[in-house]
């Protein structure tokens, strides 16, 4: 699926690559806007620790439910429709938050987030690979991921400041306005549907899922997903419990390390292979999860955030590209759908499943369990992945 409306390019990339990368920045800035404030909002409307975890978990559950349906459609009908759907839902969702006064209606709205994430993220990464110059697929995927995290340098802290200054309603309306900017950038995007369509057995969701490079990568990425889900739900209350003031800047450290890693990890994976960047990333995710559990100072918490960001950059650059290497161009969305379904499931386990651990034991215990699963995922990926597997 190559860009057809212009021959203009920068560093070999077509102009549409930069347009969709900019749209992605606004999409994820809206997503990250409420990272720090959402647990507090849930407590304000009567939620407890388990329901904080459930709030993050239900969005991933809805993504898990719809991604197997959406991913093949992205391959058959093109990327833009899914990008538009995701951006529109992200614009509507925070507006609906302002109409919820109790936990259960709020949780119902959270289901919308999973649909938006499933549609937008799958189409976005597939399109980045479609637009990659020859021999630069890993680099393109790595670079495209930078704007997924650029907003994290400022969005959680700025979102917290807006909420503390003007309250939750203005905070949520600001999130909607940011998502609307994403929608505005996607609307003029044009794509050539030459690689879309042409249904075949090889592009069915479960047929792709059975390919060894795809399911092995999906096992590996679950280690990162569980740790990330634990951070989303339980890092802010753990920091508050220990009187640490770095919960907002945790995500700044996370994003800075992640972007630095992604800027080079994709390039390295094109030259050294996908496993050469993914395996070190999985090792770092174990250390980062334990680091949050042990953190007693702001500096330690920030170091753990940087570690998780480094892990994310390495793992995603390696594994996102690996699953697309394993399939034809017209099945890239489906392959990513399989990988991201497993990632979503892992985030849900980290949020909701570990919420039970946090409720019965402690927030720190939830991070120790996350680290334990990351060890299992690392060993499984390292052992089951073929040493000379697809790059």
Q: Would 379 be classed as within a structural domain?
A: yes
Q: Which residues contact 111 (CB under 8 A, 6 or more apart)?
A: 58, 59, 61, 62
Q: Would 135 be classed as within a structural domain?
A: yes
Measured between alpha carbons, how far is residue 239 from residues 52, 69, 76, 144, 231 in Å? 15, 38, 45, 31, 11
Range of the domain at 154: 13-189+202-384
**In contact, 305 and 367? CB cutoff 8 Å:** no
Q: Would 194 be classed as within a structural domain?
A: no
In the block, which residue shows the tokens 């900019």? 22
Q: Would 48 be classed as within a structural domain?
A: yes
Task: Report the number of distinct structural domains present in the chain.
Answer: 1
**In contact, 263 and 312? CB cutoff 8 Å:** no
Whole-angstrom Cα distance, residue 330 to residue 324? 10
Q: Would 287 be classed as within a structural domain?
A: yes
**In contact, 115 and 66? CB cutoff 8 Å:** yes
- Written as six digits, the tokens of 339 are 């990988």
Q: Would 390 be classed as within a structural domain?
A: no
Give the distance, in angstroms, between the CA of residue 210 and the centroid of all CA atoms in the same chain.
23
- Written as six digits, the tokens of 351 are 């949020």
231 closest CA partner among 185, 295, 187: 295
**In contact, 169 and 96? CB cutoff 8 Å:** no
260 closest CA partner among 153, 159, 157, 178: 153
Q: What is the CATH number of the domain that holds 353?
A: 1.20.1250.20
Q: Would 87 be classed as within a structural domain?
A: yes
Q: Would 197 be classed as within a structural domain?
A: no
Question: What is the chain's pLDDT, residue by residue, as a tens digit (391 residues)?
Answer: 443 344 434 467 888 888 999 999 999 999 989 878 888 888 888 777 777 777 777 887 888 889 888 988 888 888 999 999 999 999 999 999 988 878 888 888 988 988 999 999 999 999 888 888 777 888 888 888 888 878 877 888 899 999 999 999 999 999 999 999 999 999 988 775 544 444 444 568 888 888 888 999 999 999 999 999 888 888 888 888 888 888 778 888 888 898 899 888 888 888 888 888 999 999 999 999 999 899 899 999 999 999 999 999 999 989 999 898 888 878 888 899 899 889 888 887 887 778 888 877 888 888 999 999 999 999 999 888 765 444 4
Residue 375, judged by CB atoms within 10 A of its CB (0-12, 13-18, 19+), counts as middle
DSSP one-letter string for 189-236: ----GGGS----GGGSHHHHHTSHHHHHHHHHHHHHHHHHHHHHHHHH
């Amino acid at each position: 699926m190559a860009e057809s409306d212009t021959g203009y390019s920068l560093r070999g990339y077509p102009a549409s690559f930069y347009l969709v990368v900019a749209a992605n920045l606004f999409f994820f800035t809206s997503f990250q806007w409420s990272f720090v404030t959402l647990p507090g909002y849930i407590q304000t409307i009567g939620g407890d620790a388990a329901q904080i975890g459930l709030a993050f978990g239900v969005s991933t559950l809805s993504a898990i439910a719809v991604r197997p349906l959406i991913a093949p459609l992205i391959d058959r009908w093109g990327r833009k429709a899914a990008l538009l759907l995701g951006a529109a839902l992200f614009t509507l969702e925070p507006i609906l938050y302002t109409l919820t006064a109790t936990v259960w209606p709020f949780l119902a709205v959270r289901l919308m987030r999973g649909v938006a994430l499933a549609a937008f993220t799958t189409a976005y990464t597939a399109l980045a690979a479609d637009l990659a110059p020859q021999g630069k697929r890993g680099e393109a995927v790595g670079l495209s991921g930078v704007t997924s995290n650029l907003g994290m340098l400022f969005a959680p802290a700025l979102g917290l400041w807006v909420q503390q200054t003007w309250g939750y309603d203005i905070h949520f309306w600001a999130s909607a306005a940011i998502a609307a900017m994403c929608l505005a950038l996607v609307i003029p995007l044009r794509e050539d549907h030459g690689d879309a369509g042409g249904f075949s057995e090889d592009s069915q969701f479960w047929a792709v899922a059975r390919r060894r490079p795809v399911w092995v990568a999906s096992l590996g990425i679950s280690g990162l997903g569980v740790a990330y889900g634990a951070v989303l739900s339980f890092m802010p209350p753990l920091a508050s419990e220990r009187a640490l003031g770095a919960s907002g800047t945790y995500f700044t450290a996370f994003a800075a390390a992640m972007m630095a890693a992604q800027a080079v990890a994709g390039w390295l994976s094109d030259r050294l292979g996908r496993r050469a960047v993914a395996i070190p990333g999985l090792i770092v995710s174990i250390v980062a999860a334990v680091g949050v559990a042990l953190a007693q100072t702001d500096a330690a918490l920030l170091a753990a955030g940087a570690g998780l960001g480094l892990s994310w950059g390495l793992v995603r650059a390696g594994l996102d590209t690996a699953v697309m290497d394993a399939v034809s161009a017209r099945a890239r969305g489906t392959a990513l759908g399989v990988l991201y379904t497993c990632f979503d499931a892992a985030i849900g386990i980290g949020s909701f499943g570990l919420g039970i651990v946090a409720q019965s034991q402690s927030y720190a215990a939830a991070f120790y369990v996350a680290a334990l699963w990351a060890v299992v995922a690392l060993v499984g990926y390292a052992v089951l992945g073929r040493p000379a597997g697809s790059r």
